[in-house]
Chain A
Amino acid sequence: MTSVGDLDTAGPAASTAPGEMVRVPGGTFLQGSPDRTLDWLESEGQAFPRDWFTDETPQLPVTLPDYLIDRYPVTVAQFAAFVARTGYVTSAERSGGSMVYSDYWEIREGACWHRPAGYGSGVRNRDDHPVVHISHLDAEAYARWAGRRLPTESEWERAATGPSYRLWPWGDTWDPGNANTAEWTGGTFRGLAEWREWWSAIHAAQGPVPQTTPVGAFSPRGDSVDGCADMTGNVYEWTSTLAHLYAPETRCDPTIHLVMGRSRVIRGGSWMNFRYQVRCAERLYGDPTGWSNFALGFRCAGDAPAAGVEHNGR
C-alpha cells in the first residue's frame, strides 16, 4: 500500500470543543474501503477470506455537517460519576455477568464495568481506562444523561480516517506503537495460534483482565487528523447505526447478512485484535439487546453548536 495518508498528519488539528470533544468539520468523505484494500488484505496472509471484508464495500461518498465527538472513549471515572448520580444498573449487572475470553468466549459471573474480570476483580487504578462491559442500552443511557448521543457509523469513521481515506488514523503504514492492539502488547503474530499463546500467558498470570490502557496513552502519535485518540484498538466502540449493507448487491460472509437490520455497528477494534481488525473502515456488529464484553466500550457525539455561539475551549 502507498502511504498517501501519512502526509495529512502534519495538518492543523481541529478546533477544540467543550468537554474534551472535538469539532469535526462538515464535508464529504469516502466511507468504506476501496477494492485495493481488500486486495491487500488477501495478500497479507491474514486469517479471513475476502468475503469477510466485503461489507466495507463499495466505498461511497457521505456528506456530514459539522459535529462533535469525544476525543477519548468514556472512562471508568466518567461512567462511575454517571452511576453515582443516577443509580443506573448496567445490563451486565442485571443479568449477573458479561462475556470474557478464557480459552473461548464465556459468560463470567459478576463481570461488569466495575468488576471487569468478574468477582474478585475491580477498577482500582483504572479510572482513566475506557469503561468496558457496556451494552448498547448502557451506552445510550450514559449518552442521554450526558446530553450527548452515540456517534453514527459515518461520524465515527470520518473522525477516525479524516477527510481522505486511510487505513489507520495516522496513515497507511502500520506501526504497532501507535495503538493498543494485540500487536503492541504481544508483538507481531503469524496467526491465531500465536495469538492464543499470547492470550493464554496473560490469562494464566492475571485471569481475564482487560488489557486496556489509559485513554490517550498513544497520543498524539496514534491520533486521527481531527485529534481523536484511541480510534484504533483499546476498546470496541458502539455506534448508533443499525447494521446495513452499503449496497444491496454486496455479498459477504452469509452470517454477516443475517445480522443486517438487527445488530448495531461497532467500530475501532480493540486491544484483542491484529492490525486488520482495527482499521478505520472495519465494521463489526453487536447484539444490541443487552450483550457486552470485556473489550467493549463507547464514546459520545453531539450536534455542533451553530457558528458564532460555540464556547470554544476546554
Chain B
Amino acid sequence: MVTVLLSAGWAHRGQKTFACHEGTVRDVIKEFVESYPLYRRRLLDDDGEPLTYYNVYLDGDLVETADRSRVTARSDSTVAIIPPLAGG
C-alpha cells in the first residue's frame, strides 16, 4: 500500500498517515479524499481534481504539478502532502 503523509498542522485527531492503493499521484490523492472526505475542501477543487497550491513529495522528491498525473506511486511509496506554509 501507498502511505499518504500529512503534516501535524493538517492532521485531525493526530492521524498523520493513511493507506491508499498504488496509482498516479493524482489518483492517490483522489482516493485518499474519497476515503477521508474531511480533506476534500483542502485538497480537491469543485471538479474533483487536486488543487495546485500544495506541494506533493513522492518518497522525498518534489512532484511538479504537471507531473502528478504521470508519476506513479508504487507499493511501499510515501506520498507527502505539504502546504506552502510548513511547520509552525
Contact = CB atoms under 8 A, between A and B. Distances in A.
A158 to B, nearest CB: 20
A51 B80 CA distance: 17
Given A52-B87, A262-B62, A285-B85, A256 B7 contact: yes
B46 to A, nearest CB: 11
A235 interface: no
B85 A253 contact: no
A12 interface: no
A256 B86 contact: yes
Interface residues of A, number: 33
Contact of B55 (A104, A273, A287, A293): A287
A263 interface: yes
Interface in B1-48: 5-9, 14, 16, 41-42
Nearest to A292: B84
A263 B8 CA distance: 18
Residue from A107, A286, A287 having most chain B Cβ neighbours under 10 A: A287
A277 B88 contact: yes
Contacts of A266: 85
Contact of A286 (B6, B42, B85): B85
Contacts of B83: 105
A2 interface: no
Contact of A255 (B7, B14, B42, B62): B7
Contacts of B60: 258
A258 B59 CA distance: 10
B87 A254 contact: no
B17 to A, nearest CB: 9
Contacts of B84: 99, 286-287, 291, 293
B86 A291 contact: no
Contact of A258 (B16, B42, B82, B85): B82
A282 B88 contact: yes
B80 A254 contact: yes
19 contacts: A48-B8, A49-B14, A52-B9, A106-B53, A107-B51, A253-B87, A254-B16, A255-B6, A255-B7, A258-B82, A258-B86, A259-B86, A282-B88, A284-B87, A285-B85, A285-B87, A286-B85, A291-B84, A293-B85
